[in-house]
């Protein structure tokens, strides 16, 4: 019997994502001038106020106020009417040095034996729903909000848009876990107050259905476009009004959107957040590594759907466990346990090896802090960072290295597939 599955996304202007972007912008600024830094930065945002706290061990100096205000302005919180804007909000800083008790378990004289920055389990997932090997529900949810942000910045249509928004997509699947059709789309977007409630809501809903969704569909493959029928259920700003939003409408915290950041509820999540953490924290680096493994396994044809778990003990280099689940959709004649053993033979899963393989000791994290860390397009960009004490540095950087399909041939050879 067919079933329904749902995933959600939130925009860059959602208060939790504002917090994530501030944390990752600060991380990038620190790594740009000291790649060996140890960083764990948390951010809270609320009406007219930002609080930045955490632990940092670094030779770099960061102007926390300037970086924070730049992020907020770039997102689009630039008006006093929002009750939260980059030029006038307060910025409180409570950052201190990383605990020596934690650091002694991480740093080693032999770099390759660097211990994990914490205990925990991390999951990677991939499936054949989309060209990016991501669940269709989450992929569509992200694309809706990314395009909504493009429309907002263009300022030509839907000129009433404000930065805060959320989306949710429900897809009908068959018993083979293949998408059959898009069932329900929910879009809630913050907006200016430009009319009486009823005609205002009608205008926004009409624009979402007739401007936003067609622009999203145009980006999709023919196979996915075919899933959009005339019977889709739309809920647009279902409360009827969404003028008060952003950090003024709801307090935001770093790490509170970990399901949006990963697989939209498909697969599993170990519970650790990403943003604001340097890659010695396996919450981040091993989550990227497990996605890299899962995506390459599916792309190589080992399975049509796969979940990879890595687990670590603090201060220990080798993972304490590697687990694979193919959900009965394996294409090779061996058990999931045997697949896991081959994964351990192919991939060096020590934290230092993951950092090196995926080039994680670089200032590449702000771009991951909104619209998902997984399923993004790997690309090379140039970024420039300035410091009042260290001058200016320009770096050519690879983004989303964990999305590269660079182990497919090795996997095919190992599995004889």
Token representation of residue 368: 């991951």
Residue whose token pair is 């919180």: 77
Note whether 224 and 302 are same-domain residues: no
| DSSP H helix total and E strand total for the chain | 13, 13
Is residue 197 part of an annotated ligand binding site? no
Note whether 404 and 283 are same-domain residues: yes
Is residue 98 part of an annotated ligand binding site? yes
| Res 111: pLDDT | 67
Dist. CA 308–CA 287, nearest whole Å? 9
DSSP 229-277: -TT-EEEESTTS---S-HHHHS-EETTS-HHHHTTTTSS---S---TTB
Q: Is residue 92 part of a domain?
A: no
The whole-chain average pLDDT of the chain stands at 95
CATH assignment of the domain containing 292? 3.30.300.10
Is residue 250 part of an annotated ligand binding site? yes
Minimum mean pLDDT range among 102-116, 335-349, 390-404: 102-116
Note whether 199 and 298 are same-domain residues: no
Q: Is the pLDDT of residue 110 over 70?
A: no
Note whether 217 and 328 are same-domain residues: no
Is residue 16 part of an annotated ligand binding site? yes
Dist. CA 324–CA 47, nearest whole Å? 44
Q: How confident is the model at residue 179 (pLDDT cuts 50, 70, 90)?
A: very high
Domain termination site, one of 221, 244, 267: 244
Instruction: Specify the pTM.
Output: 0.95
Q: What is the largest CA-CA distance in the chain?
A: 67
Q: Is the pLDDT of residue 98 over 60?
A: yes
Count: domains in the chain: 2
Q: Alpha carbon of 191 to those of 152, 159, 164: distances in Å?
A: 10, 9, 8
Q: Is residue 73 part of a domain?
A: no
Note whether 373 and 318 are same-domain residues: yes
Note whether 291 and 214 are same-domain residues: no
Dist. CA 294–CA 302, nearest whole Å? 10
Note whether 156 and 234 are same-domain residues: yes
Is residue 42 part of an annotated ligand binding site? yes
Q: Is residue 255 part of a domain?
A: no
Note whether 201 and 288 are same-domain residues: no
Q: Is residue 213 part of a domain?
A: yes
Q: What percent of the chain has pLDDT over 90?
A: 89
Strands 49-57 and 233-236: unpaired
Note whether 286 and 371 are same-domain residues: yes
- Greater confidence (117 vs 363) lies with 363
Length of the chain: 417
Q: Is the pLDDT of residue 256 over 80?
A: yes
Which structural domain, as residue segments, surrounds residue 179?
Answer: 3-9+136-244
Q: Is residue 342 part of a domain?
A: yes
Is residue 403 part of an annotated ligand binding site? no
Q: Is residue 151 part of a domain?
A: yes
Note whether 201 and 322 are same-domain residues: no
Name beta bridge partners: 321.
311
Give CB contacts under 8 A, 24+ apart, made by 355-360.
Answer: 355/114, 355/279, 355/280, 355/285, 357/289, 358/285, 358/288, 358/289, 358/292, 358/401, 358/402, 359/398, 359/401, 360/279, 360/284, 360/285, 360/288, 360/401
Dist. CA 298–CA 267, nearest whole Å? 14
Q: Is the pLDDT of residue 112 over 60?
A: yes
Q: Is residue 211 part of a domain?
A: yes
Domain termination site, one of 244, 270, 297: 244
Q: Is residue 143 part of a domain?
A: yes
Note whether 231 and 308 are same-domain residues: no
Closest CA to 189 of 155, 145, 147: 145
pLDDT (average), residues 41-69: 96
**What sign does the dihedral 278-283-284-290 (CA atoms) show?**
positive
pLDDT digits (tens, 9 = 90+) for 309-332: 999 999 899 999 999 999 999 999
pLDDT digits (tens, 9 = 90+) for 11-29: 999 999 999 999 999 999 9
Q: Is the pLDDT of residue 99 over 70?
A: no
Is residue 376 part of an annotated ligand binding site? no
Note whether 299 and 408 are same-domain residues: yes
Helix (H) or strand (E) holding 316: none
Is residue 395 part of an annotated ligand binding site? no
Dist. CA 285–CA 117, nearest whole Å? 10
Dist. CA 114–CA 117, nearest whole Å? 9
Is residue 181 part of an annotated ligand binding site? no
Is residue 55 part of an annotated ligand binding site? yes
Closest CA to 312 of 289, 338, 294: 289
Q: Is the pLDDT of residue 115 over 90?
A: no
């Amino acid at each position: 019997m067919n079933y329904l599955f749902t995933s959600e996304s939130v925009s860059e202007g959602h208060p939790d994502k504002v917090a994530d972007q501030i944390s990752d912008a600060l991380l990038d600024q620190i790594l740009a001038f000291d790649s060996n830094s140890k960083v764990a930065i948390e951010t809270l945002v609320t009406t007219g106020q930002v609080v930045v706290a955490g632990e940092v061990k670094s030779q770099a100096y960061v102007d926390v106020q300037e970086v924070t205000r730049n992020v907020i302005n770039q997102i689009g919180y630039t008006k006093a009417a929002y009750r939260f804007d980059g030029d006038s909000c307060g910025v409180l800083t409570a950052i201190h040095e990383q605990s020596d008790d934690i650091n002694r378990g991480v740093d080693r004289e032999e770099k390759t034996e660097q211990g994990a920055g914490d205990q925990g389990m991390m999951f990677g997932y991939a499936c054949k729903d989309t060209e990016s090997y991501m669940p269709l529900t989450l992929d569509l949810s992200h694309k809706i909000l990314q395009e909504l942000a493009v429309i907002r910045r263009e300022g030509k249509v839907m000129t009433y848009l404000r930065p805060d928004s959320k989306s949710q997509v429900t897809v009908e699947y068959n018993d083979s876990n293949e998408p059959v059709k898009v069932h329900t789309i929910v879009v809630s977007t913050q907006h200016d107050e430009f009319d009486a409630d009823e005609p205002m809501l009608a205008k926004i809903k009409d624009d979402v259905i007739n401007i936003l969704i067609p622009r999203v569909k145009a980006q999709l493959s023919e196979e996915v476009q075919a899933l959009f029928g005339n019977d889709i259920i739309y809920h647009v700003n279902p409360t009827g009004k969404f003028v008060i939003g952003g950090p003024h409408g709801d307090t935001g915290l770093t790490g509170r959107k970990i399901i949006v950041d990963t697989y939209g509820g498909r697969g599993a999540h170990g519970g650790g957040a990403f943003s604001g953490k340097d890659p010695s924290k396996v919450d981040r680096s091993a989550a990227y590594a497990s996605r890299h493994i899962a995506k390459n396994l599916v792309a190589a044809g080992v399975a049509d759907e796969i979940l990879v778990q890595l687990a670590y003990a603090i201060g220990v280099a080798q993972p304490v466990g590697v687990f694979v689940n193919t959900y009965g959709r394996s294409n090779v004649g061996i058990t999931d346990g045997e697949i896991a053993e081959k994964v351990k033979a192919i991939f060096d899963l020590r934290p230092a090896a993951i950092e090196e393989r995926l080039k994680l000791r670089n200032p590449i994290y702000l771009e991951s802090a909104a619209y998902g860390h997984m399923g993004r397009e790997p690309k090379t960009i140039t970024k420039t960072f300035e410091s009042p004490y260290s001058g200016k540095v320009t770096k050519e950087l690879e983004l989303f290295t964990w999305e590269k399909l660079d182990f497919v041939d090795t996997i095919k050879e190992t599995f004889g597939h």
